[in-house]
């Protein structure tokens, strides 16, 4: 049943449409959630993304993709991490105001998606930086479902505590969800959690044993995703059970 509903959302024409900024919410000093009103938007699955297009007065256009932070049925939200050298993110995470219009296309994606049919498998979510965004959608959708999903673990790598997006939501906790942070550059005084990048040792501690047939999602910079996916393969995870979404960045392949 769930699969049929899923398939229905993945076919059909995908057109650019105008969305209006209904509100903004500063998540960290450099990341902002943008709430959008898009009358033609058909709703999204957890894990999908939105393409966003900007047009300057001289006709110049720039396009980027942003993961959807909202769960199915919730008002459409994306979270944008400002990249200092970026062309689009400083605008979206800075200048953009409620009432402004954006062109959006979506929702996009049928692979990097979590739905009710996946709820029976122990879930591992590994996020590097802004890779946490689609996992907010997934975790909120998981909490929407009736019944009890199999337990989930979130491994979230961020530069510092100040860079953790959705911190208060994650701190509120959720039944059946354990969160582990890796703070790679700066740690607060008295930090007893992992300092430095996610390594195979940390992964080995946090990941579900492969024998439990877990499902893993890994999202973030390409170098982060490649390292974690390789680590999970080393722990015995079957490739078809490790879903990846690479955001690019420097380094990596």
Binding site for other proteins (CB under 8 A): 3, 6-7, 10-14, 16, 18, 45, 49, 51, 53-57, 60-62, 65, 85, 87, 91, 95-96, 100-103, 105-106, 108-115, 117-118, 221-223, 239-240, 243-253
**Cβ neighbours around 55 below 10 Å, total:** 12
Q: How far is the CB of 43 from other proteins (least distance, A)?
A: 14
CB of 168 to other proteins, least distance (A): 28
Closest separation between CB of residue 198 and other proteins, Å? 17
Residue 114 or 208 having the CB closest to other proteins: 114
Q: At closest approach, how far in Å is the CB of 191 from other proteins?
A: 29
Count of alpha carbons within 13 angstroms of residue 204, beta-carbon side: 5
CB 78 within 8 A of CB 107: no
**How many C-beta neighbours within 10 Å does residue 113 have?**
22
Of the pair 113, 139, the CB lying nearest other proteins is at: 113
Q: Which is nearer to other proteins, 114 or 181 (CB)?
A: 114
Q: What DSSP character marks residue 209? A: P
CB-facing half-sphere around the CA of 17: CA atoms within 13 A: 16
Nearer to other proteins, 56 or 189 (CB): 56
**Distance of alpha carbon 12 from the chain centroid:** 24
Residue 74, both tokens? 């919730």
């Amino acid at each position: 049943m769930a699969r049929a509903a899923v398939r229905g959302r993945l076919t059909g024409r995908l057109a650019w449409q105008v969305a209006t900024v209904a509100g903004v919410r500063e998540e960290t000093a450099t990341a902002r959630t943008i709430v959008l009103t898009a009358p033609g938007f058909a709703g999204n699955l957890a894990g999908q993304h939105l393409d966003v297009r900007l047009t300057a007065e001289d006709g110049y256009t720039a396009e980027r993709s942003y993961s959807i932070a909202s769960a199915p049925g919730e008002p459409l939200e994306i979270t944008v991490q400002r990249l200092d050298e970026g062309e689009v993110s400083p605008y979206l995470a800075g200048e953009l105001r409620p009432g402004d219009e954006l062109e959006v296309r979506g929702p996009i994606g049928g692979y990097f998606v979590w739905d009710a049919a996946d709820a029976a498998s122990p879930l591992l979510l590994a996020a590097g930086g802004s890779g946490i965004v689609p996992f907010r959608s997934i975790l909120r959708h998981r909490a929407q479902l009736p019944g009890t999903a199999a337990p989930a673990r979130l491994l979230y790598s961020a530069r510092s505590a100040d860079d953790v997006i959705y911190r208060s939501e994650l701190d509120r906790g959720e039944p059946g969800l354990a969160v582990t942070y890796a703070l790679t550059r700066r740690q607060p005084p008295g930090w007893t959690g992992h300092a430095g990048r996610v390594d195979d040792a940390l992964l080995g501690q946090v990941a579900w044993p492969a024998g439990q047939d877990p499902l893993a999602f890994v999202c973030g910079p390409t170098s982060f995703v490649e390292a974690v996916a390789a680590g999970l393969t080393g722990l015995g995870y079957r490739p078809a059970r490790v879903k990846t979404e690479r955001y690019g960045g420097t380094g990596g392949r």
